[in-house]
Amino acid sequence: MNSRLFFLLVFASITTAISAQTTITGEVLDSLTKKGEPYATIRVYKNKNSEKPIAMWVTDTDGRFSQTVTAQGNFFISFNSMGRREIVRRISLGADKDKVDLGTLLFQDDTKQMEGVTVVAQKPLVKMETDKMTYDVQNDVDSKTNTVLDMLRKVPMVTVDGQDNITVNGQSSFKVYVDGKPNIMFSANPSQIFKSMPASSVKSIEVVTNPGARFDAEGTGGVLNIMMNHVNGQKTFTNGYNGNINATVGNKGSRGAAFVSGQQGKFTYSVNLMYGRGKSKDTEIFMKRTAPDGSTMDYYQTASGENRSPWAM
């Protein structure tokens, strides 16, 4: 075997190991009611006693799950939900397995007596409250390498399509708050901001589907409240700006628009500028009218003009 062939085989084996992806599917139900367990936390571990999972996600509102994991070998997968006994299964992932279907898993209530017992439990990724749902970003292992937009793909009630368009509770009309306060820069173009924002700067993401008086979001699909990580009392991601410029030029006129928004500390700003210029040259109008008595009337007009329309807000 020559050296070139040897290196090709080594490269192929490394590529196969890196790109081995397996989709894990199944559903988690209540053992008595047979209803789906919403937002149960799923973790994949290399070793049973390992503290750090290689992948994490949650079930949907019906208890179903489908997640692609890039790994090879034997692993343990655990399912946790508040007040439920943990479910643990052994799974095998590899290049020869593109899908692992775990079927139906049944949760049972945890009826153990807690008095005098110290319990060490895994913190769930999703916390449900009366008026909001909170996704714990900082405890998701993917937050160390992903952007906020990547994390939003995992947040229940939030959808991010292939063009990075975001919908909350099925609606594209929503407001973005940061630490409970409205943020113009984020709301103006959330997908672009979140795409460039490291997930490690965020503590949690709250989805408020029924905003009350605290959130001025009437007529919207809800509120995304981004809770930031703080270091020595300061946010890890505070200052920045966002903007876009577009222009259209034609033989009958031109039009341009610019939008800029930003934040510096507690100060937020936004500027929207538009300018239009149209012209008409040698416009001709010809009209011929014939009356019932047979008489005719001809009308002819030619004109040139120009109009300008600057606008700012």
Are residues 247 and 305 part of one domain? yes
Looking at residue 10, its pLDDT comes to 46
Asked if residue 52 belongs to a domain, the reply is yes
Kindly state whether residues 13 and 106 are assigned to the same domain. yes
Q: Exposed (0-12), middle (13-18) or buried (19+): which is 212, by Cβ within 10 Å?
A: exposed
Q: Residue 216: which CATH number?
A: 2.170.130.10
Domain membership flag for residue 78: yes
State whether 1 and 93 are in the same domain: yes
pLDDT at 110: 82
- Position 143 in a domain: yes
Residues 190 and 105 in one domain: no
Please give the pLDDT value at position 173: 85
Count of CB atoms within 10 A of residue 73's CB? 11
Is 236 contained in some domain?
no
Residues 6+ apart with CB under 8 A from 162: none
Residue 207 · residue 158 · CB < 8 Å: yes
Residues 220 and 259 in one domain: no
216 shares a domain with 163: yes
Same structural domain, 144 and 180: yes
The alpha carbon of 106 is separated from its chain's Cα centroid by a whole number of angstroms, namely: 30
Q: What is the pLDDT of residue 235?
A: 56
pLDDT of 254 reads: 73
Query: In terms of DSSP bridges, do strands 132-135 and 202-208 run parallel, antiparallel, or are they unpaired?
Result: antiparallel
Report the pLDDT value the prediction gives residue 103, as an integer from 0 to 100: 95
Residue 136 lies in a domain: yes
Task: Identify the domain boundary among 167, 198, 231.
Answer: 231
Structure letter (DSSP) for residue 138: T
Beta bridge partners of residue 78, listed in sequence order? 43, 88
Residue 225: CA atoms inside 13 Å, Cβ hemisphere, count?
20
The DSSP bridge pattern shows strands 64-70 and 21-30 to be antiparallel
C-alpha angle with apex 283: 277 to 288, nearest 5 degrees?
A: 145
Cα 153 from chain centre: 4
Instruction: Judge if 247 and 200 occupy the same domain.
Output: no
pLDDT in the model for residue 240: 54
The token pair that represents 257 in the structure block: 């628009």
Is the same domain home to 78 and 164? no
Is residue 136 within a helix (H) or strand (E), and if so which, with residue range?
A: none
3-state DSSP call for residue 313?
coil
- The answer to whether residues 50 and 75 belong to one domain is yes
157 occurs within a structural domain: yes
Residue 99 lies in a domain: yes
Q: What is the pLDDT of residue 262?
A: 55
Sheet with strand 21-30: strands edge to edge: 64-70, 21-30, 99-107
Write down which residue in 65, 93, 124 finishes a domain: 124
Domain of residue 176, residue span: 126-231
| Mean per-residue pLDDT pooled into runs of 10, the chain (313 residues) | 50 50 94 94 85 90 92 92 91 86 93 51 80 91 90 92 89 88 82 88 89 62 86 55 62 65 54 64 70 73 65 50
pLDDT the model gives residue 226: 93
**Considering the domain boundaries, does residue 237 fall inside one?**
no
Instruction: Looking at the structure, tell me whether residues 2 and 67 fall in a common domain.
Output: yes
Same domain, 33 and 4: yes
Q: Give the number of domains in the chain.
A: 3
Report the CATH number that the domain containing residue 50 is assigned in CATH.
2.60.40.10
Which residue carries 């005719």 as its tokens? 296
Where a domain ends, among 183, 202, 231? 231
pTM for the model stands at: 0.63
